[in-house]
Structure 1
Amino acid sequence: MDIRVQGPGPTSPFLSARDLFETEHDLSLPVYVQLRDDPDERTWAGHYDDRHVLNISRQAASSAMARELALHEFAHMARHEQEHPSHTQSTEEVLYLALAGKSVERRKLAHCYQIANHMKDIYADDITLAVGPGEKLLSYLESSLAMAVADRPPTPARPGHERLSASADPEITAVNAAFALALTERHDLVDDDHRLYDLARVAAMDAPGVDFEGFKRRFRELAADPDSSGYRQVLVDATRDYVGGEGPAAD
């Protein structure tokens, strides 16, 4: 596996992630690591005909999560090379099938992309957690969800319902919580009394219109090797369940 770090910055996290990754997987194309100056630049992978590109800020590359971030992106690259349906299915096509004839708020449309990304991450982390430990990922999921439910407004959001989660949109926060629990349950990372369950319960209470248990079950039980049609239908169903309503069949 060919790793090429572009520009000054740490290299050890990427080499360490490569060593873990290569215990069970490999990539056909080289990986160019592009270190960015912007500390807010999120970590993401780009895919091209002759290479993959791992974009990461220098701050993230120097953090305690650097190896895990790199390993996660290597897993996305592997899924792309495998032509796994989760990484080849067009989200735009799914949204067209699921939402044809419906008027959808811009924020909920953005949330639908987030749901599709969660499914991609489930399949990437099936690789990540098969080759590396899950303690840091669990801590990251817990701290992220804790931040989303920590800031309580001084007055109820509406009569009879006191909002418990933060200024982040409570509906997608509930879906994010379902994803976090689904991923950790899928890989046996949590005991029944883990704090993540309490945090997820608060997030679910704050978004009663979201089928929290349904999304958790959907994420947790994603088939390991779906065909393209089956995966498309799962994503169409998830989109409709989140937005509400019916639509034409995916096929």
Structure 2
Amino acid sequence: MDIRIQGPGPTSPFLSAQDLFETEHDLSRPVYVRLRDDPDERTWAGHYENRHVLNISRQAASSAMARELALHEFAHMARHEQEHPSHTQSTEEVLYLALAGKSVEQRKLSHCYQIANHMKDIYADDITLEVGPGEKLLSFLESGLAMAVANRPDTPSRPGLRRLSPSADPEITAVNAAFALALAERHDLVDDEHTHRLYDLAHAAAMDAPEVDFDGFRRRFRELGRETDSSTYRKALVDATRSYVSMSDPAAD
């Protein structure tokens, strides 16, 4: 595995992630790490015929999660080289199949892309958690969900918890919570007694969006087949998309 870091910045997180990744996997194409100045730049991977590119801000590269972020993106690169259905299936094709004849608002269309990304992340993190520990990822999932859900004064319907920001979309927050909990359960990062705070946060998110089939999405994400083919994966994504846009949405009828 060939890593080429471009620009000044820390190198140890990427080399440490490489060491973990290479215990079980390898990449045939070189990885160019591009360190960006923008602290709000999200971490993402680009895939090309002769290379992969890991884009990450210098701030993220210096954070406590840097190694885990790099490892996650290496896993996406591996899935891409494997031509795994989750990374070759066109999201646009799935949306066309799932939503043909329906009128869907732009907000929910954006959410459908997020659902597709979650399904890709499930398969990438099957690799991430095969080669690396899960404690930091669990904390990352918890803190991310806590950004949308926080303490509130007791009310009869939602005692104890509320959305952090009124601008946070409760529907996709509930789906995000289902993904976080499903990933944790899929890899036994939480115990069976439901005592971890992630359960409380996920429950609060689900209560904020009762129209979302939280348990259904949690089950869909958690039980995605470890081995899948293009047809099976396409059907799973089509079904998830239809389930989301059909919930209490007259525009989708």
Fold shared by both chains (TM-score > 0.5) = yes
> What is the number of residues matched between the two proteins?
242
Q: Give the whole-Å Cα distance in 2 for the aligned partners of 1:35 and 1:13.
A: 12
> Corresponding residue for 1:10?
10
> Residue deviations 1:78-123, cap 9 Å, x none?
0000000000000000000000111111110000000000000000
> Corresponding residue for 1:47?
47
- One-letter amino acid of the structure 2 residue matched with residue 79 of structure 1: R
The secondary structure found in structure 1 opposite 2:35 is strand
1:225 is aligned to 2:223: no
User: What RMSD in Å do the two structures reach over aligned CA positions?
Assistant: 1.8
* 1:39-118 correspondence runs (5 A): 39-118=39-118
**Unmatched tracts of structure 2, length 5 or more:** 248-253
- One-letter amino acid of the structure 1 residue matched with residue 128 of structure 2: T
Q: Give the whole-Å Cα distance in 1 for the aligned partners of 2:34 and 2:75.
A: 17
Q: Give the whole-Å Cα distance in 1 for the aligned partners of 2:148 and 2:163.
A: 6
Deviation at 1:164? 2.6
> Corresponding residue for 1:165?
163
Deviation at 1:224? 1.0
Structure 1 length as normaliser, TM-score?
0.93
Structure 2 length as normaliser, TM-score?
0.92
Q: Give the whole-Å Cα distance in 1 for the aligned partners of 2:80 and 2:65.
A: 23
> Residue deviations 1:178-199, cap 9 Å, x none?
0000000000001221010011
The secondary structure found in structure 2 opposite 1:241 is helix
The secondary structure found in structure 2 opposite 1:209 is coil
> Residue deviations 1:196-250, cap 9 Å, x none?
00110000000010000000000000001211011000000000000018xxxxx
> Corresponding residue for 1:177?
177
Large movers: runs of 4+ above 4 Å? 160-163
**Unmatched tracts of structure 1, length 5 or more:** 246-251
> Corresponding residue for 2:138?
138
- One-letter amino acid of the structure 1 residue matched with residue 42 of structure 2: R
> Corresponding residue for 2:204?
202
The secondary structure found in structure 2 opposite 1:150 is strand
> Residue deviations 1:129-178, cap 9 Å, x none?
000000000001001111101275x9x9xxx8899323310000000000
